[in-house]
Amino acid sequence: MAIPGRRWSVAAALALGVHFLAVGAARAEEDHLIGFKIKDLNAVPGLAGVAVTADFGNQTCDLKRPEFMLVKSEKSGGDDPRGGTAGNFVCYKARCTGAVPPTVTTDSQFGVHAIESKKAKLVCLPLNQCGDGDVDPGEECDGADNSACPGLCRSDCTCTPCNMSGFGVCPHPQQICVFVAPQLGYVCTSGTCGPAPTCGGSCLSGETCMDTGTTDCTCLQFQ
């Protein structure tokens, strides 16, 4: 199986947005994968000439059609702790040329394997995991896992930003979302920054010291 060591631009080009919903109790050891034979009802096309880079070398692959979906899972209540947290993938049937892994001897829970690699047949692309109840890389929150913004986690796994209605959170823990002036509405601020109209005080990174028409200038960050 050809799974690259890093994500490639084809993932964005194919615009795969499969969301997985958490079902039942949280699993502590999702270090396994279960694979499903699939039919892609949207018939998202593959791509020719995809460069795949792995530890053993490079391959060039023509991706044909989605063939399998791999979903992170826990086996037998977590009886095999040797793996790391898995991800979710859609795997394309592929025709590849280039380097293949060398023959290796390695072990799994079921025994020692002497593995000789042949042709690569699949290329697997990571899927959007927003909605699985866990905060994954690139997510600010995810459903019930919303410690970054309790009660303000949006369906795209981002925190509701501070907006004109005063509803939302700010990117810095020292900031609060407050109404500062009629022309500005609600913005993120960490406080005052010197007397108006000079506005020479210091602010947090990303903030601007502005005269809002009051006695003191205000550190502002616009979302």
Residue 83 lies in a domain: yes
- How far, in Å, CA of 132 to CA of 26, rounded? 10
**122/210 same-domain check:** no
Tell me, what DSSP letter sits at residue 202? Answer: -
Instruction: State whether 16 and 82 are in the same domain.
Output: yes
Model pLDDT for residues 35-77, shown as the tens digit of each residue: 999 999 999 999 999 999 988 999 999 999 999 999 888 888 8
Same domain, 111 and 190: no
59 and 121 co-located in one domain: yes
Flag whether 138 is in a domain: no
Q: Is the peptide bond between 150 and the residue preceding it cis, with omega within 30 degrees of 0? A: no
Q: Are residues 28 and 112 in the same domain?
A: yes
pLDDT at 13: 31
Closest CA to 88 of 22, 150, 19: 19
In order along its 223 residues, the chain shows pLDDT tens digits of 443 433 333 333 333 333 333 333 445 577 889 999 999 999 999 999 999 998 899 999 999 999 999 988 888 888 887 777 778 899 999 999 999 999 999 998 899 999 999 999 999 998 877 887 878 777 888 888 888 888 888 888 888 888 877 788 888 889 988 887 777 778 889 999 989 888 888 999 889 998 888 889 999 987 6
Q: Do 91 and 70 contact (CB within 8 A), yes or no?
A: yes
Task: Judge whether 53 lies within some domain.
Answer: yes
Q: Identity (one letter) of the amino acid at 78?
A: G
Collect all residues with Cβ–Cβ distance below 8 Å to 62 and sequence separation of at least 6. 46, 47, 48, 49, 50, 94, 95, 96
Neighbours of 133 (CB within 10 A): 14
Residue 5 is assigned to a structural domain of this protein:
no
- Asked if residue 18 and residue 116 are part of one domain, the reply reads yes
**CA distance linking residue 45 with residue 212, whole number of Å:** 53
Please tell me what DSSP assigns to residue 142.
Answer: B
| Domain termination residue (choose one: 93, 126, 159) | 126
How confident is the model at residue 103, as a pLDDT? 94
In a domain, 65, yes or no: yes
Residue 191 lies in a domain: yes
Which domain does 187 fall in, by range? Answer: 176-221
What amino acid occupies position 26? A
What are the phi and psi torsion angles at 13 (to 5°)?
-65, -35
Residues paired with 161 in a beta bridge: 169
What is the distance between the alpha carbons of residues 44 and 40, in angstroms, rounded to a whole number?
Answer: 7
The count of structural domains within the chain is 2
75-80 long-range contacts, CB within 8 A, separation 24+: 75/32, 78/27, 78/28, 78/29, 79/109, 80/31, 80/32, 80/109
